[in-house]
Amino acid sequence: MKRKAGMIFPLSGLPSEEGIGTLGLGTIGFLDFLKDCGFRQWQLLPLTIPDPFFSPYMSPCTMAGNPNYIDLRLLERQGLIKNYSGFHGKKDKVDFQWLKKKRYYLKEGFKHFKDKGDLQDFIDREKSWIMDFCSYQVLCKKYGADWRKWEEKYKYRDVEALKELEKEEAFTFEVFLQYIFYVQYEEIREEARIREIEMIGDLPYSCPVTAMEVWKNPEYFSLDKDGRILHELGAPPDLFSSQGQSWGSPCYNFKRQKEDDFIFWKERFGHMITHYDGFRVDHFRGYESYWSIPFGDKPKEGRRVKVPGKKLLLELEKEFGRLPIYVEDLGALTKEFNLFMKEWEYPGMNVLEFAFDGEDSIYLPHYHSKNSISISGTHDNPPFLLWWEERSKEVKCRIQNYFGFHEDEILEGLLRGVFSSVSYWAFIQLGDLLSKEDTFRINTPGTIGDNWIYRVDGDQLQEGLAKKVRKLLERYGRV
């Protein structure tokens, strides 16, 4: 396997002519920057519709793209919108007021769209989810985002009622949005392919109880007959949270899913394989066992529940062959999960920012294996310079002694720590390359507020920076 390096950064934070990153020229410019640096992979993080706090990991649908990423200039060039005046606000953060205005332009684009045959072809290609999702979206706008509060004919998915819904213009508009999103996304993917950059997706583990996938198949989740959560997914106390985590999502009913040959997971994995060159599987330990919390209890009062992970992965590999994935294997690990990882041999993650939390961490580079990912930090970690500021003097000395760098070369020393690893793949966050004044966190777990909103300025992606990064990647055989 060839040594490679990749970048972690959400599309929402890229430069564009709008109040959010889009599938347009700004993203092509970012691909050029990645190529100049020598990066061969871009991990986009989920492109899904986010939850009310803008997290794409708690999306109403794992397969639907976020229409806010549609590039309006491209629609203008197609003649679908006219008199587009552009965006004139600040571009250091996602502008939520702009996103409300953008809906007007998207409706205008739909009004002028004539290629209805293309929509039908798209429906045929994405039939496992598109009809259910568009019905769900229409109903959310009519009755609110919680399907458990809808009229019974919609709550319990009456076939005739849903057929009538599919005749509405609002339904076709939702199909149009997904069609345009995937057309533009595949164009960006082709631009990446030309530059020999792989698009690495990200498959979330859990589903919000209000999600389309739960509405479609409530029997696959730990719910009562009215859709109330019986057991909630979460995590015990670990490196991310000393109190543990409750995710607000129902546990899976793997026993029921097994009866249907895991079609739920086959559709999810199949979608990712179709649209990405590879992808990260979030919370892979949940495929061996999950942390189940009786609804209303504290996370630490939960228990670990075994799942038929071996049977599930055998079914997936039977369907798709060896999966093009790497796995998130962080948190409170057990002997059983370590054996599960060893059996399946999918590359796991070595997070450098966790390597100095103890005296002899498994994440220290001298413990890395080739079949693994060397990574500065996930989207839940601070970028290097912010992380460095939070370390004690004692820990800073230990890090400097380990890597052998001086106070005036902190950033380069930490980057060397990631790229010099024997791991075949190495990932950093874009924020790891920026100055302390310019950098920012993508997400801080357990907080509400400034998450998933910061953007990078195109002027920060300079040729001089790219040359410095390329020298490092060349030094460690990753170009």
Neighbour count for residue 36 (Cβ, 10 Å): 17
Joined tokens for residue 210: 């209000």
What are the two backbone dihedrals, phi and then psi, of residue 350, each rounded to the nearest 5 degrees?
Answer: -115, 100
Which residues does 349 contact at the CB level (< 8 Å), separation at least 6?
Answer: 326, 327, 328, 329, 330, 372, 373, 375, 378
Residue 430: count other Cβ atoms within 10 Å of its Cβ. Answer: 23
- C-alpha to C-alpha distance for 329 and 351, rounded to whole angstroms: 10
Distance CA 286, CA 245 (A): 14
Element (H, E) at 425: strand 425-429
Task: Give the pLDDT score at 238.
Answer: 75
Quote the distance between the C-alpha of residue 419 and its chain's center.
23
Rounded-to-integer distance, Cα 470 and Cα 474, Å: 6
Tokens (6 digits) for 90: 């600040």
SS3 401: helix
**Cα–Cα distance measured from residue 173 to residue 166, given in angstroms and rounded to the nearest whole number:** 11
Q: Do 271 and 334 form a contact (C-beta atoms < 8 A)? A: no
Structure tokens at 214: 């739960």
CA distance 54 to 93: 12
Q: Which residues of the chain have pLDDT under 70?
A: 239-240
Q: How many CB atoms lie within 10 A of CB 267?
A: 14
Q: Residue written as tokens 């690495």?
A: 200
What are the two backbone dihedrals, phi and then psi, of residue 336, each rounded to the nearest 5 degrees? -65, -40
CA distance 174 to 134: 5
CA within 13 Å, CB half, 464: 3
**Of the candidates 430, 338, 434, which has an alpha carbon nearest to the alpha carbon of residue 11?**
430
Q: Quick one: how many helices (H) and strands (E) in the chain? A: 17, 12
Q: CB–CB of 65/181 below 8 Å?
A: yes
Give the full edge-to-edge strand order of the sheet including 4-8: 325-327, 278-281, 198-203, 41-43, 4-8, 425-429, 372-375, 348-351
Q: What is the pLDDT of residue 240?
A: 66
Q: What is the pLDDT of residue 90?
A: 87
Q: Chain-centre distance of CA 226, in angstroms?
A: 30
Instruction: Map tokens 């009229």 to a residue.
Output: 151
Task: State how far the Cα of 355 lies from the Cα of 361, in Å rounded to an integer.
Answer: 5
| SS3 call for 200 | strand
- CA 171 to chain CA centroid, Å, is 26
- Kindly report the number of other CB atoms within 10 A of residue 406's CB atom: 8
d(CA 81, CA 108): 6
Strand extents, DSSP E, 173-273: 198-203, 231-235, 245-250
Q: Could you tell me which residues are beta bridge partners of residue 229?
A: 223
454 DSSP assignment: B
How many whole angstroms separate alpha carbon 128 and alpha carbon 279?
A: 20
The full DSSP string for 47-64 is -BPP-TT--GGG-S-SS-
Interhelix angle 25-37/463-475, rounded to 10 degrees, is: 40
Q: Return the pLDDT at 328.
A: 96
Q: Pairing state of beta strands 278-281 and 325-327?
A: parallel
Q: Are 341 and 348 in contact (CB under 8 A)?
A: yes
What are phi and psi for residue 478, nearest 5 degrees? -115, 10
